[in-house]
Amino acid sequence: MSPSSPPARPLPGPFRSAAVIGGTHGLGRALALAARERGLRTVVYGRSAALPDADGLLPRSLDLCDPQSVRTAPVDVPSPCYVLWVAGAFLKKPLVETTEDEVEQLTRLLFSGPVLFLRRLLAEAEGPVHLITIASSSSWKRRERESLYCGLKAAQATFVRNLVPELLAAHPENRITLVNPGGLAVPDFHTGLALDFGAMMDPGEVAEIIWNIAADQRRAFTEVQILRSREPGSEGTPEVSYGARVPQTPEEPGAATATGGTAPLPIQHH
């Protein structure tokens, strides 16, 4: 946070620590730093989190692609706590060109690894938990050559929605926030792609929006879309709306309407 930035908003409620699954790069790192600014004892999980963190975060080594690491990584996060599921990687490739190893590794990183590690964290929690899950607008948007990535992000979002009743049964103060962000200016995430990162959202700005949403949340479950503006002069500005989105048709834009199909329903704005 720069000296000219406004102070971080305090977080109400009992939550005084945070565990960030995938907090070493990109949006995960920005969320972890913003958690620390809010006075949370912040534990960061990741493959490159083996050494002491110069920013005052508490590193814990975790390789979500390694089943043994998922089973043995420490889960000594004090409760009540925020748990942030942010770990991710991108793959843009036709399915028939995707190797078996790529399918297995991406599935472990984006879905099965975090689910198994989250299972351990929740089992150890002694008080309420606020789960903040970073899925993607790719869970409902029409994409090309991204079927595996989009499918795993849709699975992540659906899993979290259906986890809500279990978490509320476990503790009435549990909270769940599902965030579907659009394109972020994280070059390491989009390796090998020629993209205009100046027209994409700043991870630090999006992290502040997410924490402010968490601070204001009173309902058990909130789903939010954070999409980048494409208006001339405002490219990359985050636009926030609430509620789930109807999946886009797989045809070219406008094809469904032209052939008599139904257009997506409008979302509910907050």
* Parent domain of 243: 17-258
Rounded distance between C-alpha atoms, residue 86 and residue 43, angstroms? 13
Alpha carbon distances (Å) from 129 to 14, 44, 75, 122, 249: 9, 16, 14, 8, 36
Rounded distance between C-alpha atoms, residue 158 and residue 153, angstroms? 9
Is residue 10 one of the residues assigned to a domain?
no
What is the pLDDT, as a whole number, of residue 192?
55
| Count of structural domains within the chain | 1
What is the pLDDT, as a whole number, of residue 256?
46
Is residue 80 one of the residues assigned to a domain?
yes
User: To which residue do tokens 């390491």 refer?
Assistant: 188
Is residue 143 one of the residues assigned to a domain?
yes
What is the pLDDT, as a whole number, of residue 266?
39
Is residue 11 one of the residues assigned to a domain?
no
Is residue 1 one of the residues assigned to a domain?
no
Maximum C-alpha span of the chain: 59
Q: Any residues with CB less than 8 A from the CB of 166 and at least 6 apart, and which?
A: none
Q: What is the pLDDT of residues 214-244, one digit of tens each?
A: 999 999 999 999 999 988 888 889 999 999 9
| H or E element, residue 17 | strand 17-21
Is residue 59 one of the residues assigned to a domain?
yes
Mean pLDDT by groups of 10 residues along the chain of 270 residues: 56 83 92 95 85 80 96 90 93 94 96 97 92 97 93 97 97 96 78 64 96 95 95 91 96 56 39
Is residue 265 one of the residues assigned to a domain?
no
Report the Cα 174 to chain-centroid distance in Å: 18
- Can you give the CATH number for the domain in which 22 is found? 3.40.50.720
Is residue 43 one of the residues assigned to a domain?
yes
What is the pLDDT, as a whole number, of residue 153?
96
Q: What is the pLDDT of residues 119-165, one digit of tens each?
A: 999 999 888 999 999 999 999 999 999 999 999 999 999 999 999 99
